[in-house]
Structure 1
């Protein structure tokens, strides 16, 4: 795989669009990694009584409040015990223990050392190739990443797996969680500064969850002078059946997606040109 480099002169000031990508479910398939770690964690902290399905996780995330999978794990644990008649205020849940267990499943027994990771993160299929990003660059389209993943996890896929050089990235540690658009604004500002892009250039944000599209809606309300376009991407687990794919697409459209695509690589320069011209 060839290295893709981002430099201050990679995109001229004649850039036609900015595309910001979510990572999980868009750049990499996390159905058997993050989501598996989430299910493992809920199962562990309910003493094996409850393991959430993909549909259970999707239903929670459709609420638009649970982009952080550690918090989503805790919430599903709370809800399980509430269904058993317990009051969450009386439950002695250790959030740090939840995070630590999750990280050991996702990263491995040495979660702070990327060189020794052996967890689920090592098995994630990629959903795009560097050649796709190179084609965007060739078409004068600037691109970067805004993700709720930790910086370590995001850097692992972008730099180690995709071999990107210093990509513009705003991760969990850098901004409030979605749907707060602060991180999206920061990503766009960094791309504009790096590539000398005019303020009027349209911005597309591609994501796979309700929170991602709600982020675009909030960005639009706070910066109405900027053109914001939400692009929904169907994650692989949502494409197991036509009926579920249709249901998932409707959720994304209801949250503000202008278009929903089954693959991020379908958001090519021609599709982007069509979206910004409509």
Structure 2
């Protein structure tokens, strides 16, 4: 076999431009009483800080920053984190966010960036593969099993491990793949993601397991495609954060 490949999901397997990012913008706009709706560039800037992989926390942070900008402190805001999460989930999942059978929110409209054949090709080419994502397990499984048709894929989601750039979830996904396939030998580990936090995850993994062959590959998120200046800037940011290679889309991994 060639390597173990772990994929992020949002921006890599599915286009979240008009789903997660839209829900984030909706949430910030709602809790700033219509006074501030972050642009894609402003969301990119926040994620470029490398610590806001969780979009609920990112929404809260942008709300905080707006109010700080008009002279109000975080401690005086009346919005709870739970309220922010609930509003976000109602936009993203739908009116009944706990029942996947009735979801009618933005998640149902997400374009897929791969198909089932992509994973068949990976296997045929000697790769073991799985997923480590900051998405909730319900959201990730909805895409992987319902939309893509994967059967019981290795998945480490938000509920399973600390958020990125902590590499614990990456190691969990790799170990699960090794156990399922009885892998005894040491194989390269490749992580494909679309954020600074994804790249830093590999850097931190290397510091914990310096004897492992760990590689970070960046995938450019769909919302910057066709914008050469943004693609160049984003690529450089990923390289600076530790990416060894930058792909325009995840399918370029097997179709360079």
TM-score (norm: length of structure 2)? 0.98
Q: 1:155 Cα deviation (Å)?
A: 0.1
Q: 1:92 Cα deviation (Å)?
A: 2.1
Match of 1:8 in 2: none
d(CA) in 2 for partners of 1:76, 1:199? 45
Aligned ranges for residues 86-235 of structure 1 at < 5 Å? 86-235=72-221
Per-residue CA distance 1:166-195 (angstroms, 9 max, x = gap)? 000000000000000000000000001111
d(CA) in 1 for partners of 2:168, 2:185? 17
d(CA) in 1 for partners of 2:13, 2:183? 24
C-alpha contact 1:192 1:199 (8 A) present in aligned 2: no
SS in 1 for 2:190: strand
Q: 1:197 Cα deviation (Å)?
A: 1.9
d(CA) in 2 for partners of 1:114, 1:239? 31
Match of 2:233 in 1: 247
Match of 2:250 in 1: 264
Match of 1:78 in 2: 64
Match of 1:10 in 2: none
Q: 1:240 Cα deviation (Å)?
A: 4.0
d(CA) in 2 for partners of 1:88, 1:111? 28
Q: 1:199 Cα deviation (Å)?
A: 4.3
Match of 1:46 in 2: 32
Q: 1:16 Cα deviation (Å)?
A: 1.5
**Alignment RMSD:** 0.9
Match of 2:13 in 1: 27
Per-residue CA distance 1:10-51 (angstroms, 9 max, x = gap)? xxxxx2200000000000000000000000000000000000
Q: 1:251 Cα deviation (Å)?
A: 0.8
1:56 aligns with 2:46: no
Match of 2:2 in 1: 16
d(CA) in 1 for partners of 2:78, 2:96? 26
The runs of at least 4 consecutive aligned structure 1 residues that moved more than 3 Å come to none
d(CA) in 2 for partners of 1:240, 1:16? 32
d(CA) in 2 for partners of 1:240, 1:78? 32
SS in 2 for 1:224: coil
SS in 1 for 2:30: helix
SS in 2 for 1:164: coil
Match of 1:11 in 2: none
SS in 2 for 1:133: helix
TM-score (norm: length of structure 1)? 0.91
